Each structure stands twice: as structure tokens, then as C-alpha cells.
């Protein structure tokens, strides 16, 4: 069942959470950086950015705090944008180390590999990957511009924090030179370390971080500025980009829909990265023909077509049985007979919107929901009763058979 939460309800929930937590005094400031040890520990706020760009904030959300390790996420995204997923995987990795974030030993255990851009070693390596190579000012501009796009507004360097970190980052210095010794840095070690230290010293507000999180959740489109910061095509480089119901990109009538812009991005990446990007588009045959003919670039680049017949009644029944088995459900004998007839009817009366296995999945989920309502009325149901689907669980459907 889908439950809608209103803006006012969500705002009340945020305010209640703030009230419940604002007086908690546990924990302590990070003390390995002198500046952080002296930050007012009573500061507290909550910001939530919604998909439509509205922001709910309560408390000290306008205070600029040092972004510190959260910056690793932003620079990892920048490296993905510039290098592609496969390159980042090969040069840094994507696995948790299971050790402290600033561990030197983790580098040795990972066979000289930083392992992930979300620990210090990987984050320093990510800064070394940022383009343009050998240009500290150019790299810094790229890092700040990328972060600004994600945050929706510019961060501000906290000079006192930067100097405090630079004077005490002995462990990170060791990490940088160890990575250099293992050929896991891709630019000057001192430059990469300084870029990492500076990005950690950028001041941001809780509201900016909320907007950044919403941008990442929206696959790169900032809900406040409406800018497309990154896209799924960039993440797919080195692999396969699969787009189901691709014709939705050309059926847009709203001025706020960016389907045509997305097509241009796809076409450009197919041209620029033809050796490391495979694009597959899929959907209903008639609508896919409209999609292919909607842009001359699509016609020229998509020249291999595969057509698949609809599943018939028996095949749909096999799919339904497999869903039952996978989820631990059984069909009663009467339920089996009912579904065989029902799915044959679904196949025979199919139209252009026939969803094949997707329709079967919907029927299965509806049946499970009705079965749960039914067995909840039993006083002491057995395990078999809890997992058995009967005709009364299956009889209602959306296609009228």
C-alpha cells in the first residue's frame, strides 16, 4: 500500500526529531585536528531537501562547518565523471577495507591498492586522478566547481582549518608517499595531498549538504538549480547502459522534461566513447520505432535490432511458479488450476500494453497482499497456511478476466 506524506507532516517530523535530540550531550569533537577540537559542540541542525527542491531546515543549518570526509563523495563523483567507472575501479577500487579510514596497513593488505575512494588513501588517489594532470590550480577549480554544482552554491575555504590540517596531517603524508611508491598515485604526491587537505577544509552548511544528497539521489540533477551535474551515461562507461521504455525520452510534452537533452547526452557519449560504452534501448516494438525515428542520430547509431515474442500462457505460468518458489510460497491445487486459466486469458486478451513478466509480477504481488489479509484472520495459522496461495488470493486482477 502506498502512503502519501504531506510536506507539513514531513516538516513536523523533522522538527520533532530536532526537539528530541537537540539537548543530547554525548560524544566529543574530533581532536586529531586542533581546529575541529575547538568547534562549538552545541551546534546542531537538521536539513532535508525534497525532490522538488523545497528544503526543510531547523536549528544551526546556516553554520559553515568543515566538510571533511564528506568531500570524498564529491571528488569520487568528479573522478567518475572524468575517468569513467572502469578506470576508477582499476586505479582505485570500490571495496570497503574493514579498517580505519586512515589506515596505512589497509594499503598493504589490499596488495598496494587504495581499495575505495571513500577512505583517505583512495581519496588522495582520486585527487591525483582529477584533470587537468599537473595543474594544481586547474584541479582545484575542477574540485570546487564540481562541489558547487552538487551543493547548489559555492563552498568557502576555511583558512584556519586548512592550516590546522596541513600542520598535523602526518599520517596522510605517509599514505601519499606509500601510494606513490606503489604507483597508485597519478600526479605529484604533494599536490594530491594538498588538494585533499584543502577540499576537506571547505566550509559548507547543512542545507548545502542536504541539496547535495538530493542531487546524488536524483541521479545528478540538482533539484534547486535544475542543473544536470552528472548522468548515468558517465557511470556506464566501461560497461553497458540499458534503457527500458526508451521512448519515454521523446514523448515529453512538459517544458521541465529533459528527455531530448538526455538523448543528446547519450548520442555524444556513444560517439566520444564508442570503444568503452554499449547502449541497449528496449520497449514495445511500435513505440521503439517512433523513438528511433525521432532523432537522425538515433537512426545512424542503433543499427542492430532484436525482436522478442510475447510469453504465452504456459510460459507466464512458469514465471508465476518461479516467483512463488523464490519467495517461499506454494500454490494449492485449486490455485494452480485457477492461475493456469487466468494467465491463458491474460495472454489471449493482451493488447499493446501487455507487460509479459511484469504483469505476472504485479499479479503475484497483489496475490501476496490479499493472502496476507486473509491469513491475518486465522487464529493460529500453520506455516503451510501462511505460505499457501488459494484461488481467493488470486481471483482479482487488473485486466478483467
Q: Look up residue 249 and give its three cell numbers.
A: 525520452
Q: Are residues 12 and 62 in the same domain?
A: yes
Query: Cis (ω within 30 of 0) for the bond into 157?
Result: no
Q: Are residues 13 and 104 in the same domain?
A: yes
Residue 20 located in a structural domain:
yes
Distance, C-alpha 115 to centroid of its chain: 20
Distance CA 290, CA 342 (A): 32
Distance CA 175, CA 112 (A): 11
Last residue of one domain, picked from the residues 229, 262, 278: 229
Pairing label, strands 388-389, 330-331: parallel
Q: Are residues 181 and 65 in the same domain?
A: yes
Lowest-confidence region among 100-109, 173-182, 206-215:
100-109
Q: What is the pLDDT of residue 124?
A: 97
Contact status, residue 286 vs residue 351, Cβ threshold 8 Å: no
Q: Are residues 243 and 355 in the same domain?
A: no
Q: What is the pLDDT of residue 239?
A: 79
Last residue of one domain, picked from the residues 203, 229, 255: 229
Q: Are residues 52 and 37 in the same domain?
A: yes
Last residue of one domain, picked from the residues 269, 301, 333: 301
Q: Are residues 148 and 286 in the same domain?
A: no
Tell me the pLDDT tens digit for each residue of 187-227: 999 999 999 999 999 999 999 999 999 999 988 999 999 99
Q: Are residues 189 and 331 in the same domain?
A: no
Q: Look up residue 218 and give its three cell numbers.
A: 536524483
Q: Are residues 218 and 328 in the same domain?
A: no
Q: Are residues 269 and 332 in the same domain?
A: no
Residue 169 located in a structural domain:
yes
Residue 222 located in a structural domain:
yes
18 pLDDT more than 90:
yes
Distance CA 289, CA 299 (A): 10
Residue 360 located in a structural domain:
yes
Residue 318 located in a structural domain:
yes
Nearest CA among 303, 312, 324, 304 for reference residue 371: 324
Residue 240 located in a structural domain:
yes
257 pLDDT more than 60:
no
Q: What is the pLDDT of residue 14?
A: 96
Which residues pair with residue 327 across a beta bridge?
A: none
Distance CA 347, CA 303 (A): 30
Q: Are residues 241 and 360 in the same domain?
A: no
Residue 126 located in a structural domain:
yes
Say which residues have a Cβ less than 8 Å from residue 85's Cβ, sequence separation at least 6: 235, 236, 237, 238, 239
pLDDT band at 396 (very low <50, low <70, confident <90, very high): low
- Report the percent of the chain where pLDDT is more than 90: 63
Q: Can you give the CATH number for the domain in which 373 is found?
A: 1.10.8.60
Q: Are residues 14 and 61 in the same domain?
A: yes
Q: Can you give the CATH number for the domain in which 158 is found?
A: 3.40.710.10
317 pLDDT more than 90:
yes
pLDDT band at 353 (very low <50, low <70, confident <90, very high): confident
pTM of whole model > 0.75? no
399 pLDDT more than 50:
no
Residue of higher predicted confidence among 124 and 379: 124
Residue 337 located in a structural domain:
yes
Q: What is the pLDDT of residue 87?
A: 86
Give the mean model confidence (pLDDT) for residues 217-238: 83
The boundaries of the domain holding residue 319 are 313-394
Q: Are residues 189 and 73 in the same domain?
A: yes
Pairing label, strands 239-244, 277-282: parallel
Pairing label, strands 202-204, 65-66: antiparallel
Residue of higher predicted confidence among 253 and 89: 89
Query: Could you give the number of structural domains in the chain?
Result: 3
Report helix, strand and coil shares of the chain as percent, to nearest 5: 55, 10, 40
Distance CA 60, CA 49 (A): 16
Amino acid at each position: 500500500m502506498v502512503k502519501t506524506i504531506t510536506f507539513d507532516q514531513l516538516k513536523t517530523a523533522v522538527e520533532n526529531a530536532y526537539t528530541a535530540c537537540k539537548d543530547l550531550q554525548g560524544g566529543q569533537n574530533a581532536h586529531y585536528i586542533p581546529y575541529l577540537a575547538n568547534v562549538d559542540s552545541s551546534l546542531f541542525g537538521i536539513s532535508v531537501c525534497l525532490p522538488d527542491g523545497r528544503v526543510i531546515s531547523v536549528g544551526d543549518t546556516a553554520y559553515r562547518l568543515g566538510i571533511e570526509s564528506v568531500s570524498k563523495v564529491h571528488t569520487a563523483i568528479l573522478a567518475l565523471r572524468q575517468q569513467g567507472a572502469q578506470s576508477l575501479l582499476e586505479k582505485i577500487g570500490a571495496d570497503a577495507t574493514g579498517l580505519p579510514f586512515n589506515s596505512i596497513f589497509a594499503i598493504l593488505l589490499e596488495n598496494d591498492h587504495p581499495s575505495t575512494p571513500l577512505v583517505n588513501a583512495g581519496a588522495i588517489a582520486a585527487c591525483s586522478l582529477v584533470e587537468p594532470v599537473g595543474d594544481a590550480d586547474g584541479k582545484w577549480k575542477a574540485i570546487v566547481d564540481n562541489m558547487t554544482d552538487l551543493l547548489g552554491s559555492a563552498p568557502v575555504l576555511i583558512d584556519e582549518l586548512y592550516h590546522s590540517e596541513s600542520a598535523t596531517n602526518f599520517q596522510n603524508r605517509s599514505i601519499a608517499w606509500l601510494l606513490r611508491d606503489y604507483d597508485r598515485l597519478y600526479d605529484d604526491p604533494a599536490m594530491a595531498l594538498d588538494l585533499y587537505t584543502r577540499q576537506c577544509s571547505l566550509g559548507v552548511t547543512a542545507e548545502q549538504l542536504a541539496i547535495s544528497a538530493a542531487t546524488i539521489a536524483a541521479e545528478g540533477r540538482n533539484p534547486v538549480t535544475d542543473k544536470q551535474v552528472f548522468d548515468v551515461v558517465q557511470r556506464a562507461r566501461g560497461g553497458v547502459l540499458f534503457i527500458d521504455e526508451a521512448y519515454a525520452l521523446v514523448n515529453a510534452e512538459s517544458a521541465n522534461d529533459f528527455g531530448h537533452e538526455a538523448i543528446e547526452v547519450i548520442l555524444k557519449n556513444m560517439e566520444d566513447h564508442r570503444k568503452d560504452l554499449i547502449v541497449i534501448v528496449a520497449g514495445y516494438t511500435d513505440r521503439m520505432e517512433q523513438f528511433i525515428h525521432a532523432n537522425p542520430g538515433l537512426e545512424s547509431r542503433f543499427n542492430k535490432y532484436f525482436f522478442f515474442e510475447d510469453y504465452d500462457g504456459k510460459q507466464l505460468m512458469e514465471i508465476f511458479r518461479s516467483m512463488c518458489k523464490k519467495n517461499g510460497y506454494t500454490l494449492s491445487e485449486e490455485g494452480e488450476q485457477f492461475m493456469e486459466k487466468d494467465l491463458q486469458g491474460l495472454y489471449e486478451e493482451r493488447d499493446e500494453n501487455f507487460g509479459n513478466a511484469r504483469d505476472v509480477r504485479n499479479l503475484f504481488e497483489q496475490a501476496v497482499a490479499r493472502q496476507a489479509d486473509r491469513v491475518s484472520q486465522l487464529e493460529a495459522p500453520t506455516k503451510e497456511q501462511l505460505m499457501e496461495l488459494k484461488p481467493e488470493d488470486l481471483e482479482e486482477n487488473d485486466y478483467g478476466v
